[in-house]
Amino acid sequence: MKYSWEEFARKMGVEPQILENKEARLLKEFVMDLKFPTHCQGCQGLDLSNPNPVHHPSYELTPACNHDCIFCYSNVAVKLGKVPKPGYYGWENPKAITVSQYGEPLLSKRIVEVNRMLRERFPEARLDLQTNGSLLTEELWEKLDFDIVMISLDAATREKHLKITNADTFDAVVNALRIVGADKSVRSVVRTIFMPGINDEDIPKIAELAASLGIDEMMLQPLTIHELNVERLKKAGLDFERAGSVRELLKTVMEAKKYIDVRISGCLLAQLKRMDSLTLFSVKRVAREVAPIVKRKREEL
């Protein structure tokens, strides 16, 4: 005769007890309430039945950037000769297109031209701009037409921003957040990388600052540690153990969520929602990678 483990325990004279971790249960409840980032909506990565998902299509303008961030995957791709050439990487009838995933798109003189071309060529697609914001002005903003604007900010002070980006552009980035936050025709997002030991204490302050400027959402992304950036991250004080902890990431999200609508990477969140509370409490993510690779094909438009 087959017994459940509870029945077997009782037959042996032992009353079974269910182990409970209160913090794990609270984390699970928190994860189930989290929404997917607006930018991730429609992405193949949310479908866990897809064995080989790829990101939204992107239009790459330039691998150049006026920042030199200590964690940047685009810098690594340039050094390894793996950066994509300018152009469209995607397919017909995309749900969304990102401009762009490598380099700083506002450095390109073609940004307005490409923005208009994509709007005409793919009228049904959502257009997302990913930028460090330092070059965004009121004049340029009047010429742009995007549905989502993601502005990167990883520090709450000018000094910390300089340490992370190697560029004295903190005030310019804050001004970009102000410009975009005031325009309610777009979804405005502050995009922040979780780097424990470097900026974890800054993240709630970034959330509070962004909210005060009218930003709609914070997209808090876990750090991917590319091998060519290891020494720079180590020198800056990264806690490599905590960088791979999902629990540490979620605890930081909880703190930042007091000020703004915080969301985490959709492909990660989709997996976390399927985990039981104890697994979620202890799970680590593989944070190390050599170089980013674009899985999408370059297409002529």
Which domains, ranges and CATH numbers included, belong to the chain? 21-299 (3.20.20.70)
Indicate the pLDDT class of residue 91, thresholds 50, 70 and 90: very high
Among residues 205, 195, 203, which one has the least CA distance to residue 236?
195
C-alpha distances in Å from residue 263, one per residue of 18, 184, 193, 250, 266: 31, 19, 12, 10, 8
Q: What pLDDT was estimated at residue 11?
A: 78
pTM of the model: 0.91
Which residues have CB under 8 Å from 213's CB, separation 6+? 174, 177, 178, 181, 182
Please give the backbone phi and psi of residue 299, each rounded to the nearest 5 degrees, phi first: -120, 145
- State the distance between the two ends of the chain, measured CA to CA, in whole angstroms: 67
In this structure, is the dihedral angle defined by the CA atoms of residues 219, 222, 226 and 228, taken in order, positive or negative?
Answer: positive
Amino acid (1-letter code) at residue 16: P
Assess whether pLDDT exceeds 80 at residue 266: yes
Across 30-36, average pLDDT: 97
Among residues 221, 217, 220, which one has the least CA distance to residue 180?
217
User: Which DSSP symbol is given to 245?
Assistant: B
Across 67-74, average pLDDT: 97
What's the mean pLDDT when you consider all of the chain?
A: 94
Mean pLDDT check: name the lowest of 22-26, 155-159, 185-189, 246-250: 22-26
Indicate the pLDDT class of residue 259, thresholds 50, 70 and 90: very high
Q: What pLDDT was estimated at residue 155?
A: 98
C-beta separation of 194 from 236 below 8 A: no
